[in-house]
Amino acid sequence: MRIAGRIKDLVVRGGENISPREIEELLHTHPDIVDGHVIGVPDAKYGEELMAVVKLRNDAPELTIERLREYCMGRIARFKIPRYLWIVDEFPMTVTGKVRKVEMRQQALEYLRGQQ
């Protein structure tokens, strides 16, 4: 097995080790997505579930999780398709311009709690 990306970003979903990098690369090919990141969020059944956090083009139509999942079908393995989608205006960044995934994950958990 070869892991692309940072090992600490690895998501373990139902016993499968998933590197967010492959999914993020696919998100960047979506015509309405300017930037996208994938994180793991807690899940009672699988341990962790995948969440796509994306920034859309200014003139992009509304993107739903259903439309995103449809876009991903056939392009990546089914178990790598994100279950959740969160559309943001900006990502939490470090002073050097890197995305702060730990902070993003905390914000995503708050977002999911608000959706229930």
Angle at 58 between CA 28 and CA 70, to 5 degrees: 45
pLDDT at residue 9, as a whole number: 80
Mean pLDDT on 105-113: 95
- pTM across the whole model: 0.90
For residue 9, what are its two tokens? 């970003």
Name the residue ranges covered by the structural domains of the chain: 7-115
Q: Cα 13 to chain center, whole Å? A: 13
The third-level CATH classification (topology) of the domain covering 7-115 is GMP Synthetase; Chain A, domain 3 (3.30.300)
* Cα 21 from Cα 96, distance rounded (Å): 20
For residue 2, what pLDDT is reported? 42
Q: If pLDDT is split at 50, 70 and 90, which confidence band does 25 have?
A: very high
* Average pLDDT of every residue of the chain: 92
Three-class secondary structure assignment of the chain: CCCCCCHHHCEEECCEEECHHHHHHHHCCCCCEEEEEEEEEEECCCEEEEEEEEEECCCCCCCCHHHHHHHHECCECHHHCCCEEEECCCCCECCCCCECHHHHHHHHHHHHHHHC
Q: What average pLDDT does the segment 11-21 reach?
A: 94
Task: HSE, CB side, 13 Å, CA atoms: give it for residue 73.
Answer: 6
Each residue of 45-96: pLDDT tens digit? 999 999 999 999 999 999 999 999 999 999 999 999 999 999 999 999 999 9
